[in-house]
Chains A and B, each alone.
Chain A
Amino acid sequence: MDPLIIARLQFASTTIFHYFFVPVSIGLAFTIAVMQTLYVIKGKEVYKKMTKFWAVLFLINFAVGVVTGILQEFQFGMNWSTYSRFVGDVFGPSLAIEGLLAFFMESTFIGLWVFGWNRLSKKLHLASIWLVSIGTILSAFWILSANSFMQNPVGFEFADGRAQMNNFGAILTNPHLWAQFPHVLLTSLATGAFVIAGISAWKIARKHDLDMFKRSFRISITIGAVAAFAILFTGHWQAQYLVESQPMKMAAAEALWETSEDPAPFTVYATVNPDDKVNDFEIQIPYLLSFLSFNQFSGSLEGMNQLQEMYEEKYGPGDYIPPVTTLFWVFRFMTGAGGVMLLLGFYGMYSTRRGMLPENKFYLKMMPFAIALPFIANTCGWILTEMGRQPWVVFGLMKTEDAVSPSVTANEMLFSLIAFTTMYSILAIVTIYLFVRHIKKENHDEFEPSVAQDPFDEERGAEHVS
């Protein structure tokens, strides 16, 4: 087998699996911080109980996110050493700063938060979870600054055959980063919110601890609906930016083979035929693509065949068209899932405000299934981002086929692929099992702190070590 294919499969499986957990961590950390803030401000025990209930899920999720993240960082050197040598100057600093700024903060304060309920003052303890939340968000920012360099390389010059950084400011102000980061942040908040809302709906339908879960639902659905609404704009903004910066990616996502007429219609359904480079069948809505791309009902978009010609002229002979069928459909699944989330979010917000949620059995039954929506959208979004950039690993600079480690054999890579996917499967099964187990418990009073104080404890107060 070709090491390139195995390395790519490994990258895809690691990234997709890791990214099941990352947005949940970002979203849950934020929502839990909001819950605990309500506890500290209002002083109601129900908010504390709520914080502790969701914390159990958050911590299981966080642990899996952390351990898969180590591989996410190390795999560049392991499978993609040529890439690492080529871009280390510009790509490495983002990862190093992510560690120094975000990972240390997250991991230290999560320790303080988990073990500090009885050891820190209420406010310091609350500050800890907020610092964890800020840490997760900073981490997203820095890793996206690295990814943005792969999509739209800026702030570098060629020296000694490598891309060397010459403008750090340009990397931080990379327009791709600022199109991508708000979108990722909001979709992560929506993911966490839908996890909480879906589980709360299930609990409400079963009348488990109604007070706690109705409040949980209300907090999460508000965050979810607001985020889903804002995502409309960040997604739209990002797509418009991509039409400019990576027209091939967007043309593939639209299955647009030939440069469109003006105004351009939006293709709802297409039977893509990549061999003949045409669509055998398509259903279109006139004007819509022009509007989505340029905010006006005119303007045409370049097709893949024209872009291919242009790229051949610019970069030499080669196939510059990414896998069209996959991109066309992941784009539609992503936006479709986002649309359904928006509707469910607003409907949920409306019905909680009207106080009619517990009676709405159909909605409560649907919400647990709706937990899948953000995961589908997130995964499709990353497939679009990464596969849509092919054949490049760094757009316009380095092709994926030239990036792989020359000293690692196909067998070694296959071994690691099998080993890690087996490990991922085990982690996935155990995580889901533990989630379901925790959710199914009817009595949640055990999360109340049991104050273990021993009056005859001679060491209390007087610390002496050794």
Chain B
Amino acid sequence: MSLNEFWFILITILFVGFFVLEGFDFGVGIVSRFLGKNDQEKRVYINTIGPFWDANEVWLITAGGAMFAAYPHWYATMFSGFYIPLVFMLLALILRGVSFEFRGKVENDKWKNTWDWAMFIGSFLPPILWGVVLANFMIGMPINQDKEMVGSFLQFLNPFALLGGMMFLMLTITHGLQFITIRTTGELQERARQLGRKVAPITIILFLAFIVVGYIISDVFTFHGQTFMVLPILAWISLLFANLYNTQKLDLNAFGLTSITIILLTGSIFIGMFPRVMISSISDAYSLTVYNAASGAYTLKVMTYFSLTLLPFVLGYTIWSYYVFRKRIKKNDELEY
């Protein structure tokens, strides 16, 4: 395996990690203001992700940095090409990040309500935009011979991309609700289960629609052969079973399965793009690949040493931090946010 291929795997892992971890953060951020009936209940919900959300966002920042280092053309084309969606995504992430810190600082209903809305919008927009981006990744974008993306941002809002946006939004809501079920107790936990049951059919249908339409209009799911279609199908089956476990109150199983759904779906999209990193809809020859978008061999080698040395530590203390905060959050706990 060449380093060009290795770095694609690493960046895939960073993005998949981001979608799984920040996925439930988004979900919790979206539902907490509706699921919590009073301030204390909302705080319990928000505190389920309290110690984690910041580190989860670093998966995205590091993925961006890794793209910049290993595939400068991928970073440059994607970030300048998806300009307007990214502006909204960044505005949302800014609002969201500060809302956790700001909301609890003033005991005033209006103040809290304002930042609850900021948290909601900041959690609601990014999954939609990521769904739009992933869908456009699958069908390709107008990239010309200079590796520049041309055309207006309205082209990103095609029907398949909108389906992708809605699907990803619902998927993060389902995933976030499952996370709440493993982090809370009693009535608050039961409420998340109930809502999870209610939204599950929508998520399941949108997900199925997305992989069926994706199968028809994009080559990504089957680029390396028809058998690879098994991945998105397994992702969907996993989602079905997650719902089943949710109704049986086997919360940890259900959360594990929604995580697997996200891993398989986003993983299969990245696998199907390979060796391309961005597909050109103008001509196959203009697609960016792990070879023509990459840094020199020396950079990749240095980066490989660094990442292989550092990643075990990062994974180690990340897992440790989830272990430290394994205890469920209850209504009468002392809460930070």
Binding site for B on A (CB under 8 A): 56, 59-60, 63-64, 66-71, 73-74, 76-79, 81-82, 84-85, 87-93, 95-101, 103-105, 107-112, 114-116, 118-120, 159, 162, 164-166, 168, 405-408, 412, 415-416, 419-420, 423, 427, 430, 434, 437-438, 449-452, 454, 457, 459, 463, 465-466
Contact = CB atoms under 8 A, between A and B. Distances in A.
Contacts of A407: 80-81, 148-150
B332 A452 contact: yes
B321 to A, nearest CB: 5
Contacts of A412: 83-84, 153
B52 interface: yes
Interface string B68-97: 111111011111110110110011011101
24 contacts: A67-B97, A67-B98, A78-B80, A84-B68, A84-B72, A85-B147, A88-B69, A88-B72, A92-B65, A96-B303, A96-B306, A96-B307, A100-B310, A104-B318, A116-B51, A164-B295, A427-B94, A452-B333, A457-B330, A459-B185, A463-B326, A465-B326, A466-B251, A466-B252
Contact of A70 (B73, B94, B146, B318): B94
Contacts of A105: 314, 317
A92 B75 contact: yes
Contacts, number: 253
Interface stretch (B55-63, B162-170, B232-240): B55-63
A89 B65 CA distance: 11
Contacts of B224: none
A74 B83 CA distance: 10
Interface in B251-300: 251-253, 295-296, 298-299
Given A100-B307, A111-B50, A115-B336, A465 B252 contact: yes
Given A95-B69, A103-B61, A416-B87, 7 more contacts: A78-B79, A88-B69, A92-B295, A92-B299, A96-B68, A423-B91, A454-B332
B260 to A, nearest CB: 16
A115 B303 contact: no
Contacts of B79: 74, 76-78, 81, 84
B51 A115 contact: yes
Nearest to A115: B51
B23 to A, nearest CB: 17
A116 B302 contact: no
Nearest to B333: A452
Closest 3 CB pairs of A and B: A88-B72, A77-B79, A92-B69
A93 B182 contact: no
A88 B182 contact: no
B72 A165 contact: no
B325 interface: yes
B324 interface: yes
B310 A101 contact: yes
A100 B68 contact: no
Contacts of A56: 105
A60 B102 contact: yes
B332 A66 contact: no
Given A67-B93, A107-B54, A452-B332, A92 B72 contact: yes
A82 B66 CA distance: 18
A449 B97 CA distance: 25
Contacts of B317: 104-105, 108-109
A89 B72 contact: yes
B157 to A, nearest CB: 15
Contacts of A437: 105-106
Nearest to B73: A85
Nearest to A457: B330
B125 to A, nearest CB: 13
A100 B69 CA distance: 12
B205 interface: no
Contact of B65 (A67, A98, A162): A98
Interface in B108-156: 146-150, 153
A159 B334 CA distance: 58
B198 interface: no
Contacts of A99: 58, 61-62, 64-66
Contacts of B58: 99, 103-104, 107
A282 to B, nearest CB: 45
Contacts of A164: 295-296, 298-299
A128 to B, nearest CB: 10
Interface of B is mostly: helix
Contacts of B303: 93, 96-97
Given A108-B318, A407-B150, A415 B84 contact: yes
B318 A92 contact: no
A85 B72 contact: yes
B156 to A, nearest CB: 13
A76 B80 CA distance: 9
A64 to B, nearest CB: 6
Contacts of B302: 93, 165, 168
Contacts of B78: 77
A104 B51 contact: no
Nearest to A78: B79
B248 to A, nearest CB: 10
Nearest to A131: B317
Contacts of A77: 64, 68, 75-76, 78-80
Contacts of B80: 77-79, 81, 405, 407-408
B190 to A, nearest CB: 14
A89 B100 contact: no
Contacts of B71: 88
Contact of A96 (B65, B87, B321, B332): B65
Contacts of B52: 111
Interface string B21-50: 000000000000000000000000000001
A430 B118 CA distance: 13
B101 interface: yes
B224 to A, nearest CB: 28
Contacts of A165: 295-296, 298-299, 302
A239 B181 CA distance: 58
Contacts of B77: 81
B97 A434 contact: no
Contacts of A100: 62, 65, 306-307, 310-311, 314
A437 to B, nearest CB: 7
Contacts of B69: 88-89, 92-93, 95-96
A74 B64 contact: yes
B290 to A, nearest CB: 14
B65 A73 contact: yes
Given A67-B98, A110-B54, A452-B332, A159 B296 contact: yes
Interface in B214-257: 249-253
A314 B61 CA distance: 39
Interface string B166-200: 00000000000000001001000000000000000
Contact of B87 (A406, A415, A430): A415
A464 to B, nearest CB: 10
Given A71-B90, A165-B298, A114 B336 contact: yes
